[in-house]
A and B are shown apart, each in its own frame.
Chain A
Amino acid sequence: MTSTSSTPAPGRYPAGARAFPHRSLLGIGQLETHEILYLLDEAEQWVDLNRQSKKHTDRLAGLTIINAFFENSTRTLLSFEIAGKRLGADVVNMHAAQSSVKKGETLIDTAMTLNAMRVDAIVIRHGSSGAVQLIADKVACPVLNAGDGQHEHPTQALLDALALRHTLRARGRSELNGLVVTICGDILHSRVARSNILCLQALGAVVRVCAPPALMPARIEMLGVEAYHDFDAALAGAEVVMMLRLQNERMEGQFVPSPREYRHLFGLTPERLARAAPDAIVMHPGPMNRGVEIDSTVADLPDRSIITEQVEMGVAIRMACLDVLTRRARGVEGWA
């Protein structure tokens, strides 16, 4: 494979819909490597657009997209909303707190209701693993998983891969192949970790995960990762350090004794970062607990931390996903 260019090269992917044959985006686990690369390459045009002063196209004009968030979210919801609007779609946000879900309506009934409104795409976040697939099976339009329980958060993994690719390219490296990535934090409860493990491995990276035993999923090594409880060992030679948020509600007593004890063992301090490869890249999906899993001095390192780039790439990736998944309904040639 030749080095990636910033726009998809013709002929690099199967023609038309065969480049991305899925109706919905439920998880990285459903994707082939070339399908992941296709979405990353499709996103490049939106990175360029988003850096211009006029950030708008009418590509999805007339389409209605619902962001159905059954779990609180700020950045993912905002990112999907901006992505839809920049593509010219009508975007409606449905918050669980205001919905009939609170009145006891089942998830299936909610899905049927959304379906009956003839929306063109539904973006869903839900607290239960598998909930998004359950809805996708019941509606006629494409469904995008914006996080389901502890299962998957595919657009997060895609945006992380895109942010990594941009950074590596700026440093003269073209691919993720062979890249050593250490993911540290609450792996057990993290859908971000699961999607990133699958995505990074598909792109050829070597993935290490690091967590205290209580926050490490069973048989995690069966996913092809190296598992560590010793952060220093996990960092040795790591070229990318991806820190995950410790959910404060899971902290006290239950899984780890206290935030400061967690930081003592698993916090990314400048001293710890020095154990990683020189110029190792620092990532965090946000929101951060500064001073717990990551020190401010590390999070704000200008040439090392790409945390804000991750957020930037998020909009572009979501634009690419919305564009690709609605092509069939829009009658795009080769996709209809």
Chain B
Amino acid sequence: MKQARPLAITGGRLVTPDGVRPGTLRCSGGRIETVGDAAVQDGDEIVDAGGRLIAPGLVDFGVFAIDKPAFHFGGITRAALMPDQAPPLDHPARVRFAAASGKPDLWVHPLAAATAALEGGQLAELALMRDAGAKAVATGRRWIGDSGVMHRLLQYAAMLGLVVVSHAEDEGLAGNAAATASEMATRLGLPSAPAEAEALAAARDIALAEMTGARLHLRQVTTAAALDLVRAAKQRGVAVTAGVTPAHFMLSDLALKDFRTFARLSPPLREEADRQAVLEALGDGTIDVVASGHDPRGPEDKRRPFADAAPGMAGAETLLAMVLTLVRDGVISLERAFDLVARNPARLLGVAAGELAPGAEADIALIDPEKPWVVDSGKMAASAGNTPFDRQPAQGRVIGLWKGGVPVGG
């Protein structure tokens, strides 16, 4: 769908990379035309923001399902789809299909499977998948254990100019763990693995990225030790970026109490000291991306004994509200919040979106940052209600959303 009439959103606070300022946003032809002091023109469709936030639509880096109602609820206009689909995104035709699956009101950016069937062995057809619409390469839910394979993958992806997205968790150490090694895991009798499983994997991936000059994105960095490695690598100039989901800065492994399977995640929820380290890394810029990790799971996957339940959370609806919590708590500024959920992920994907800048795609979210609501797993827009934030009060809701200048949902 093309934008028929120019759109002018007036009387709002514009969230730009340089700061938040009052003004008007004007879009035409599906793109942002002017940011700030645009004059409304005859024939414009005018929306009064009423002092609320005019922000870029969220770019959700790393989701496991295309779940449009949940994405639109959460202000997400673009989602990078993990290759862990059935069948996996390891073939150009599947990538092409996935890339078209959300249009027109949601753009899906497929992440190509790094290896055939995501098994960590043979390299997949990365160039063909790139040309079919893949915006980056991902190892999937698992780490590539074979350092030789990872080395060749990074070399090849560097040649193609594709970011490699890795799941940093050493499989030998992690084994069949369902929790991080901690007092909670010991009390509950859950199979657990040392948190260092993440740092071990991150260290190797960073070393190989440094060798090959490839761009590496560690999709979820959740421990102090691994964050220190990322911080040090960035200082050396290694092209490494790091992401996290709100679960790992909002919750610790105490959420596993009573064997709550909605808190069964991969990587697992960590001890409080690691959660604090994640907050610090969000504040100092070590973490570049906050994503939902959206992975809706029904009772057949979640109403099971903890270790037998599937990991994952439905996170699209709560992503924005949880990141706004960081702003209210003084961890980050408002403009940095939108760097984390929109601008940085758009840059990783190489798409002209994720910020309010002339020429960028007119993906706009109108946000009431104060609006209170309560997360309720029974009333989610997502296809399943497996949220670890069930019954938690939240603040901040999307009240209007445009994709390419066209209002989403009428």
Contacts and interface: CB of A to CB of B under 8 A. Distances in A.
Interface of A: 29, 106-108, 126, 128-131, 133-134, 148-152, 191, 194, 217-220, 222-223
A151 B144 CA distance: 32
A150 B189 contact: yes
A108 B303 contact: yes
Given A218-B186, A218-B192, A218-B194, A106 B300 contact: yes
25 contacts: A108-B299, A108-B303, A128-B306, A129-B189, A130-B259, A130-B306, A133-B258, A133-B259, A134-B259, A134-B304, A148-B305, A149-B189, A149-B190, A149-B305, A150-B189, A150-B191, A151-B190, A217-B185, A217-B192, A218-B181, A218-B183, A218-B185, A220-B186, A223-B186, A223-B187
B308 interface: yes
Contacts of B189: 129, 148-152, 191, 194
Given A129-B259, A134-B259, A194-B189, A219 B182 contact: yes
Given A106-B300, A129-B189, A150-B190, A222 B307 contact: no
B188 interface: yes
A4 to B, nearest CB: 29
Contacts of A152: 189
Contacts of A148: 189, 305
Contact of B186 (A126, A131, A149, A222): A222
B305 to A, nearest CB: 3
Contacts of A126: 305
Contact of A219 (B186, B190, B304): B186
Contacts of B307: 128-130, 149
Nearest to A217: B186
Given A129-B188, A133-B258, A223-B187, A106 B303 contact: yes
Interface in B288-339: 299-300, 303-308
Given A129-B190, A130-B190, A151-B188, 12 more contacts: A107-B304, A108-B303, A108-B304, A129-B305, A133-B258, A134-B303, A217-B185, A217-B192, A218-B186, A219-B186, A220-B186, A223-B186
A130 B188 contact: yes
A148 to B, nearest CB: 8
Contacts of B188: 129-130, 151
5 closest A-B pairs by beta carbon, nearest first, are A130-B259, A128-B305, A151-B189, A150-B189, A218-B181
Contacts of B303: 106, 108, 134
Interface in B134-186: 181-183, 185-186
B259 A29 contact: no
Main secondary structure on A side of the interface with B: mixed
Q: Which of A106, A150, A151, A218 has the most CB of B within 10 A?
A: A218
Given A107-B304, A129-B305, A219 B183 contact: yes
Contacts of B306: 128-130
Interface of B: 181-183, 185-192, 194, 258-259, 299-300, 303-308
A214 to B, nearest CB: 12
B65 to A, nearest CB: 22
Contacts of B183: 218-219, 222-223
Contacts of B258: 133
A217 B185 CA distance: 9
Nearest to B191: A150
Contacts of B187: 29, 194, 223
A196 to B, nearest CB: 13
A50 to B, nearest CB: 31
A128 B308 contact: yes
Contacts of A220: 186
A141 to B, nearest CB: 19
A220 B304 CA distance: 26
A222 B182 CA distance: 9
A48 B288 CA distance: 69
A218 B173 CA distance: 14
Nearest to B256: A130
Contacts of A191: 189
B305 A218 contact: no
B186 A130 contact: no
Q: Which of A29, A130, A131, A133 has the most CB of B within 10 A?
A: A130
A130 B256 CA distance: 11
Q: Which of B181, B183, B186, B191 has the most CB of A within 10 A?
A: B186
Nearest to B185: A218
B401 to A, nearest CB: 37
A89 to B, nearest CB: 27
A131 B188 CA distance: 11
Contacts of A149: 189-190, 305, 307
A63 B190 CA distance: 34
Contacts of A134: 259, 303-305
Contacts of A217: 185-186, 192
Contacts of A107: 304-305
